[in-house]
Structure 1
């Protein structure tokens, strides 16, 4: 596979990622309240998933991230979805993102990428563990958990792998080993879930350790943070600049706080403002950030403002 991510970075300077999927599905009447979050939408509301991807491309995004953050086979099995059907839902997620990408290219001449989202084991637990890292498996168990989705994403034709919201050091190491062994030619980015002090992953693993592991994995093209407040993201990015020469990636959430019991978000710092991402973008570029987007509760309007600010 050619390194389309490196080519896009070179062409664009700073790449605009997309924003939240579940938030936009909810606006379209899709129920995302269950343990699978938005992962059943490929079965129940595929048109809505496609429309969300389209909305981000129209806003100025360069990348469509597949709706597979929580779409792992174990979670589908637990929800009563057969393995063949679950595999088809993961493939469908890629097909929908590719369709939106291809339509956008046909209309504008701008070729975007499809990033295959791989969320942490904590997302499967559906208890907010991506914000704590409070779980433990062996490296082999982590690899066995992530392998089926990885292979399905690759078979369906993603351009890049997005290892997202990773809160746990041993899981990060296991995932890096897995993609190096089984997808060595596919570019990837690694985006971390960090503590509020921005010095470590949620489980306490120092950012310096993660940066050292990434140095041995040349397929990782971007390193950074996602699904945290803008201020915390800025602090973590500043820390990472001391540990890595890689370009960085940042896609914070809206600044709201997530309650894993009620599965609701509540305002913290007024983060729903349209300029939330745009206001941070140039300071992040000065830190070496070369891919910027939004995570939970961010919107196409915010991605549009970001794209305007960067271009």
Structure 2
């Protein structure tokens, strides 16, 4: 089958696992924020690795800059400065790329990933204000990522829209091993309903991330249909899966660092990318465990597809 679309943007891959591979300071609960605090040159090195391997969008290393990860006291005292540092590091790498590279300002789950029930609507605005204020001078658009519910994402979308920059929203999906149900957010909301609500609230793109590749296709199909029926059929549609071994749901935060699958090498992941692009994705990349070598494979694959006239490899 020939590719229906080769005009897609290439997002970067995961930050935390790459920092660990580079030898950066790395532990839970700080995760990728620890390098930003103690050894920011590793963060720049990680961004550079993605740019050198073909990423057209790099994401600020601000995912861990939330109170439950770096501590309430540090967030209050240093959160804005650390967000500024995260944005500045990404912007400096993008500016030196010698080609167009955009910077996405990561706005993460504020009260733990994968736990929609932990969202606190009354406390979210103050946290978002600090992150947005620090990142804003350096980013081209906002990426509200790994969102488990529309309540959580739309709260961040309102705050981000106030800056005047485009806002992308990325949802994480139920992805337990063997799942065959229609695609749902981790809150149980349907993907179609979430996409409609997100576009109606003013998002420029809807993505899916930090979930198994196996559950992404049904989400893309449902999202593509919703986008095509919406008042904004030109909205972007993206996907960047993780490479975790499937794990049962757990109520224990930070139980450990998840094992990476052995069957998602760059060539294998590229097959998923091709499927997602054929299903309507316009932005592709990787999340946890997907590294520069995967992004290089996506970039090279796109070049081959273009050179072959959008035909099979």
TM-score where L is the length of structure 1: 0.84
Structure 2 partner of 1:310 = 302
Q: Could you tell me which of 286, 289, 295 is aligned with 2:287?
A: 295
C-alpha contact (below 8 Å) 1:257/1:267 kept by paired residues: no
Q: In structure 2, which of residues 235, 252, 257 is the aligned counterpart of residue 264 of structure 1?
A: 257
State the 1:143 CA deviation: 2.5
For structure 2, list consecutive stretches of 5 or more residues without a partner in the other structure: 1-5, 176-180, 229-234, 304-313
Equivalent residues of 1:24, 1:299 under 8 A apart: yes
- Residues 197-240 of structure 1 show CA distances to partners (whole Å, capped at 9, x for unaligned) of 4522101122222222223233x221120011111111211221
Q: Assess if the C-alpha contact under 8 Å between 2:58 and 2:90 holds in 1.
A: yes
Kindly indicate whether the alpha-carbon contact (under 8 Å) linking 1:277 and 1:303 is maintained by their aligned counterparts in 2: no
Q: How does 1:161-176 map to 2 (within 5 A)?
A: 161-176=142-157
User: 2:178 is matched with which residue?
Assistant: none
What does 1:101-116 correspond to in 2, within 5 Å? 101-105=94-98, 110-116=99-105
Match of 1:235 among 218, 243, 252: 218
2:129 is matched with which residue? Answer: 147
- Deviations 1:35-57 (Å, cap 9, x if unpaired)? 12111212211111111000000
Q: Which residue of 2 aligns with 1:247?
A: 236
Question: Gaps (5+ residues) in structure 1?
Answer: 1-11, 124-129
User: What TM-score do the two structures reach when normalised by structure 2?
Assistant: 0.83
Q: Deviations over 1:52-100 (max 9, x none)?
A: 000000000001100001213565443x527453322111111111111
8 Å Cα contact 1:73-1:149 kept in structure 2: no
Residue 277 of structure 1 corresponds to 269
Matches for 1:27-106 after TM superposition, within 5 Å: 27-72=21-66, 75-78=69-72, 80-81=73-74, 83-105=76-98
- Cα displacement (A) at 1:279: 1.1
- The 1:233/1:51 distance shift into structure 2, 3 A limit, reads same
Q: Which moved more, 1:39-48 or 1:277-286?
A: 277-286
Cα distance in 2 between the residues matched to 1:256 and 1:98: 33
Indicate yes or no: 2:106 matched with 1:117. Answer: yes
SS in 1 for 2:25: coil
CA distance in 2, matches of 1:175, 1:53: 25
Per-residue deviation, 1:175: 1.8
Matches of 2:170 and 2:256, distance apart in 1:
22
* Kept in 1: contact 2:173–2:186 (CA 8 A): yes
Aligned-residue offset at 1:257: 3.9
Alpha carbons of structure 1 residues 226 and 57: separation in structure 2 relative to 1, 3 Å: same
